[in-house]
Chain A
Amino acid sequence: MHKALIGAVVAAGMLAAGPLSAQGGKLVTQGVTDTEILIGTHTDLSGPLAGVGVEVRDAMLMRIEELNAAGGIHGRKFRLIVEDSGYDAKKAVLAAQKLVERDKVFALVFPFGTGPALATLPITREKGIPLLFAGSGAVAFHTPPSESSFGYFLPDHFFMRLGIDYAARELKPKRVGLIYQGDDYGEAMLAGAKESLARHKIDLVETVSYKPGATDFSAQVAKLKAANIDLLLLGTALRETAGVARERQKLDWDVKMLGGFPVYNTISVALAKGAMEGTYAVGQNRIFYPDSAPPQVKAFYDKYRAKFSRDPGPTSVAVYSAMSWVAEAAERAGRDLTANGLIQGFYKIRSTDIFGTPEVTFTAQRHMPPLRGFIAQVRNGRWESLTPFLE
């Protein structure tokens, strides 16, 4: 009850502040001393996406350690403050306020999860603090172009488009269903699905949703089965993907499944215990397996595993890359580091990485990585890429 009241007051405050700072106030520089650059993030360390949320923290810590060991950026070392949002927008708002106003971070890097990250965008925009590479496919971070924010994950509807184009070509479905998370991420998947399916003139005959945090999908999957679909689109995240797959198995149903980048991860596959075999997904960063990875990727793997006792996932790779871009932009901004200088530094980046990703650049109109993805499928418990990077 009390929480709801705080949430309502904060929301009202944000609504009031919104129109005044729609395109962002001036960029503000704080959190930079002679020896240190202070950055902050919030991620899910205890909620439904914690399995991936901890990768955000771990990968960022690892990259920062490497950067600091190499001498830092123009003599300044990075220091990171991590807050737990529990994948709850209300907690994320409080975390962001603390980081921006009390800790006075230079930038928020990779705040994780569409709901939580979107909730903190008005705060960083109003205070003029850069929000770099939000861990979300929501378009608000880069469309309309805003000076102070970047998104990392490509728009959910872009993935839907790639996925559905592939499905229309290869799987030729006639009746499509969608299960989606009842939040901003899921709504984006729904909108993307509707748009892309309409373009191919394929019927979206049944859509069902679930509350974030739900673990029982029997009713939803039963409804989808009764609708007689031949392709199930997954607007799900981590354990929900596994849960839906297991429900499908329980009902003895073999409908094909296709999801966006959140579905493309190893945690869901492990949790599903074979139920995800044959599932398709669209990916942004490739998943590598230790026994088949190129040597430099294997080195990354081994180091990550040794440090954190877990395998890195595609989100670890994403965060590692994002932090590398932040460092490169700060380097190009020069010794006199300001928030403005940092943003300009991003436009000078021509980055390639050890993971074989095609070259990454940013422009004032495109505050996200270049639009491309690939299709993959679970075969024998592993993700196998079916296509090269597609535009």
Chain B
Amino acid sequence: MFADLAQTVIGGIAVGCVYGLTALGFVMIYKATEVLNFAQGELMMVAAFAAVAAVSLVGAPFWLAAVLAIAAAALAGAAIDRLLLRPLVGEPVFAIVMATIGLSYLLRSSVSMVPGWGSETLSLDSPFTGKFLRVGGVALSQDHLMAIVATVLACAVLFMFFRYTRTGIAMQAVSQNQLAASFVGVRVKRMFTLVWALSATVAGLAGVLLAPLTFVHVNMGLIGLNALPAAVLGGFGSIPGAIVGGLLVGLAEAFAGRFGPDGSKEIVPHVLLLAVLLVRPQGLFGISLKRRV
């Protein structure tokens, strides 16, 4: 019984980390540019495929493949900002959101056209796949533990980046007030590109952590839809909130799946989303901004 509980908790936290990272990417872009990036899940999917390609075509070990995939995702993020979004500056937010939705379709279709990738379901094994950490009679999957550890490290790195580096502080400035930031000399357009690259990096990390847990296939980015409730739950403007929101959604899903009635697992993230919007729309950590008139 305890083993069951422990495995459910660890599994829920691991998937929650993936949700959290994806939600983190959402929130970062939203804070800086007020754009909802509906292609976040697809960036994760592209990174996962890139990692599989690196392993199967070049024979790279998992670590190298992961690094290459994440770097590729970062470049893709930067490219998306320069090529897709910069021309759309000044357009209504709705148009930009439609552009990101279109991008998500484009990425899915492009990947499905690649021979050997498109119609296949592939798998990516990490050095931890199939191995267990046995603690007190409970077998914990090492892939789950890797996801948790990697997320913690990523959060630590991001925290230090935002707190202690000039670029990080500049990014925060842009998030708070673009005009003021540009007045004090921050290159706002460059910050945008950087935010997109950073958000894509986080998505890439999420993809590389998720791939050993499930399968790599063209529709795996749809998990990004589960990250939206996580972001809202945490408070849409809050970065630590995104991670916490992700963990809560992951745990709720895991417990619903294990102990709840059949099929409740799929609806839990969305029920949570509705509940949060009804009870506390600003989320757990969000600040409710009221305009002073």
Contact = CB atoms under 8 A, between A and B. Distances in A.
Interface of A: 45-48, 50-51, 53-54, 182, 207-209, 211, 213, 215-216, 218-220, 222-223, 225-226, 238-239, 242-243, 249-252, 271, 273
B119 A273 contact: no
27 contacts: A46-B118, A48-B217, A48-B219, A50-B118, A50-B120, A54-B119, A215-B214, A215-B217, A215-B220, A219-B8, A219-B258, A219-B265, A220-B257, A222-B8, A223-B258, A225-B4, A238-B121, A239-B121, A242-B121, A242-B215, A243-B214, A250-B130, A250-B141, A271-B121, A271-B122, A273-B123, A273-B125
B254 A218 contact: yes
A208 B219 CA distance: 23
Contacts of A47: 219
A238 B218 CA distance: 15
B82 to A, nearest CB: 30
Interface in B3-58: 4, 7-8, 11, 15
Interface of B: 4, 7-8, 11, 15, 112, 118-123, 125, 130, 132, 139, 141, 213-215, 217-220, 253-254, 256-258, 262-263, 265-266
A209 B262 contact: yes
A273 B139 CA distance: 20
Contacts of A242: 121, 123, 215
A271 B258 contact: no
Contact of B11 (A182, A207, A218, A225): A218
A242 B122 CA distance: 11
Nearest to B140: A250
A54 B120 CA distance: 10
Contacts of B139: 251-252
Contacts of A216: 15, 213-214
Given A46-B112, A250-B141, A53 B119 contact: yes
A209 B265 CA distance: 11
A219 B9 CA distance: 11
Contacts of A51: 119-121
A182 B120 CA distance: 22
Contact of B263 (A182, A215, A223, A243): A182
A219 B215 contact: no
A46 B130 CA distance: 29
A46 B15 CA distance: 25
Contacts of B125: 273
A251 B139 CA distance: 7
A111 to B, nearest CB: 17
Those 4 A-B pairs whose CB atoms lie nearest each other, nearest first: A219-B257, A50-B119, A215-B214, A239-B121
Nearest to B216: A215
A271 B123 contact: yes
